[in-house]
A = this chain, B = another copy of it.
Amino acid sequence: MLVVMRVGATPKEIRSTVAAIRKLGLTPNVIPGSLRVAIGITGNKGAIGREQLELLPGVAELVPVTKPYKLVSRETKPEDTVVAVGAGGPSTSLGALSERSESKGVRFGGERFTVIAGPCAVESRKSALAVARAVKAAGALAFRGGAYKPRTSPYSFQGLGKKGLEILREVREETGLPVVTEAVDPQSLEQVARHADMIQIGARNMQNYSLLRLAGQSRRPVLLKRGFSATFEEFLMAAEYVLAEGNYQVVLCERGVRSFADYTRATLDISLVPAVRKISHLPVIADPSHAAGRRDMVPALSRSALAAGAHGLLVEVHEDPDRALSDGGQSLAPAAFAELMDSLRRIAAALEVTC
């Protein structure tokens, strides 16, 4: 159930409605919009008595939400959410929801196409900085690089950890690019929330609900990658865990799903992009590097994601892909990345999207 407040409802009216919902034993979730405020109600087992709410001062209407996902749904919030990353200190949940209210930081959502680029793993200060400068020059707006790497084998390189986070901070200071990096457990999440601009939750942890809750409590923007075989509903429900903690700054990321197809490492499910744009107000980007698992397909998949309506990309770029400590085969060299960005700008212009 969604309580839509009148345009111009006063803070007091909103507080009274919130209190009334609490009194019914339910959980109110205040969702500010550019025109008016809505309050999502969660925690109900069955039907909610309408009469106690619809006559309260300032309440415009009650809207039943028919899907299991509530806060992520366009039924709850019709307008696109714009997530601002690197806006200088943790954003409040209010700020993330309205395009008007964000004047700083790199933005995801609406009619823009925002590219995050960088190496799979942070390997050294020197190489991270070199890649960061190269991708910034080519047009990337944010930097990625793993400090904590979830690896299939316990014997593989697991990332530099805190040392990696420090390098990321230096990258931000030197280049101005906000940095995105993955958290894999409570300890790393705390570190990432402190040092990075955006917390990445990887595909393997998409249903690690404890981690999602911590990400929701962190107040940092979250980049949530789809699980290897997550359905659309499961993916949105994972985001719902973050929003349910009051953090509305979630960017969804399609990174390919498991299928029988064997010429790419995963099968980029391009249809997810228009599906998310229709059903949810959250931004959605694509990771062509992990989907393809081979760099020769990254440009074609990147262009297809833009044309399908994605709000951005997460692309792996490495100074010297053949010597990367992890996933080098799918990383673009800086020159190939610059060429890709050129073609993306041309397509974005044709689509009237800011790139």
Contact = CB atoms under 8 A, between A and B. Distances in A.
B260 A260 contact: yes
A111 interface: no
Contacts of A7: none
A324 interface: no
Interface in A147-171: 150-155
A208 B205 contact: yes
Contacts of A262: 231-232
Nearest to A207: B204
A102 interface: no
A274 B259 contact: no
A309 interface: yes
A126 interface: no
Nearest to A157: B45
Interface stretch (A11-19, A54-62, A84-92, A237-245): A237-245
B209 A231 contact: no
Interface stretch (A133-141, A300-308, A329-337): A300-308
B228 A229 contact: yes
A304 B263 contact: no
Contact of A300 (B152, B211, B308, B346): B308
Interface of A: 42-43, 68, 70, 150-155, 184-187, 204-205, 207-211, 213, 227-229, 231-234, 237, 240-241, 244, 257-264, 267-275, 277-278, 291-292, 296-297, 300-301, 303-309, 343, 346-347, 349-351
A274 B258 contact: no
Nearest to A210: B185
16 contacts: A43-B155, A154-B209, A154-B237, A204-B208, A205-B208, A228-B229, A229-B258, A231-B262, A258-B260, A260-B260, A264-B271, A270-B300, A270-B301, A271-B300, A346-B350, A347-B347
Given A229-B229, A260-B259, A271-B268, A209 B151 contact: yes
Nearest to A309: B300
Contacts of A347: 307, 347, 350-351
A210 B183 CA distance: 11
A154 B240 contact: yes
